[in-house]
Homo-oligomer: A and B are copies of this chain.
Amino acid sequence: MAAKKILNVGLVGYGFMGRAHSNAFHKVSHFFPGDHTLALQAICGRDRAKAEAFAAQWGYRGIETDWRKLVERGDIDVIDIASPNDTHEEIALAAAAAGKMVLCEKPLGRNPGESQRMADAVEKAGVANMVWYNYRRIPAVMLAKQVADEGKLGRVFHYRAKFLQDWTISPDLPQGGAGLWRLDASVAGSGVTGDLLAHCIDTAMWLNGPIAEVCAMTETFVKERKHTLTGEVAPVGIDDASAFLARFTNGSLATFEATRYARGHKALYTLEMNGEHGSVFWDLHDLHRLQYFDHRDEGRVRGWRSIHVTDGDQPYMKNWWVPGLQIGYEHSFVHQVADFLAGLSSGQPAEPTFRAGLATDYVCDAVLRSARSRSWEAVPG
């Protein structure tokens, strides 16, 4: 057995995504052993005590409280950016300049300008890079990709995606601060468009090709919220809800919608494609199933197949348990790391790279522009 190449990871951010990534870094070698192995070298966060506690719990060897120091360290191979959106560009540019591989939480930047500079920087530096659009790596979603790529759907007529949540309905919820920066436009860039629709758009373009034009509406239901940093009531700058019509370049039509005001839905990301010969449907609340309709089945016994994606011949699943035993949300991150490392070995970079992430940000930007202009907007590209 050849020695594995060890990659030292420096993580920025100890929030929800910091945990999700750290878990993936640990599990990847247990379930997807390959040429590389990851070492959790350092975690960086502004609060030293929190960073130390995180390091202790997750097995990081050390901490930093200034990301600039982390980026400068010679013992770090990979910088993983899991901090709020307003920090992405600066860290990514510095990491690329320092020759580090860069992983970045989605969306890349708060706007296409930031994202463009990030994509340019990693390409100029020639460093491996990837955006954490993890939902591509849910086995059922990857199976949908296979179904589409194999032509099982035929010509596509319709694409449909929603991402529905209900956690910000209360007007008493403040904006800003830990866990709540997603409600602060200056930090997040936008509301559900960048947070939720970005996921829907990334998957959609991966499955169905580029989006040509969009027409959108957005709404902010709660106009003012107390800001946790200032203690003052301040206008809410984000979109609480965002919906848009779209046309793909392949001629198919689409509807997209995201909101944090859909009571009863915690994180219901659904997607559906309707083609000439068949259709697929998936939803995040039952993420281990793919619904598939094949019109070429015998007519009398034709129906939507509820595929329990837990068999060894289905994407990623031979590395987990036995048929019938489902995996969950966190595994999508493990798969993404595994694919990233496999890409390093093969020389075929894992998608989505920063360049692909930029494409999604262009669509998000067109959506926000369209909501303001009340007209159709073409997507650059």
Contact = CB atoms under 8 A, between A and B. Distances in A.
B325 A313 contact: no
A277 B170 CA distance: 10
Contacts of A326: 285-288, 328-329
A21 to B, nearest CB: 12
A208 interface: no
Given A241-B157, A263-B278, A277-B263, A330 B324 contact: no
Q: Is the contact region of chain A dominated by helix, strand, or loop, or is it mixed?
A: mixed
Interface stretch (A78-86, A107-115, A224-232, A299-307): A299-307
A267 B323 contact: yes
Identify the interface centre among A274, A284, A374: most chain B CB within 10 Å of its CB. Answer: A274
Contact of A259 (B16, B157, B166, B305): B157
Contact of A375 (B169, B241, B263, B374): B374
A24 B139 CA distance: 22
Interface stretch (A6-14, A121-129, A215-223): A215-223
A305 B303 contact: yes
A322 interface: yes
A41 B101 CA distance: 34
Contacts of A308: 266, 285, 303
Task: Say how many copies of this protein the assembly contains.
Answer: 4
A167 B322 CA distance: 11
Identify the interface centre among A58, A297, A325: most chain B CB within 10 Å of its CB. Answer: A325
Interface string A305-340: 111101101100000111111111111000000000
A245 interface: yes
Nearest to A305: B303
Contacts of A30: 22-23, 26, 57-59
A65 interface: no
Contact of A300 (B58, B143, B303): B143
A322 B158 contact: no
A87 interface: no
21 contacts: A16-B322, A23-B30, A26-B26, A30-B58, A166-B295, A169-B276, A215-B217, A217-B253, A243-B245, A262-B279, A263-B277, A264-B293, A266-B322, A266-B325, A267-B322, A267-B324, A288-B328, A297-B305, A301-B307, A305-B305, A320-B330
Interface of A: 1, 16, 20, 22-23, 26-27, 29-30, 33, 56-59, 143, 146-147, 152-153, 157-158, 160, 164-167, 169, 215-217, 219, 221, 241, 243-245, 247, 253, 255, 257, 259, 261-268, 274-279, 284-290, 292-295, 297, 299-308, 310-311, 313-314, 320-331, 374-376
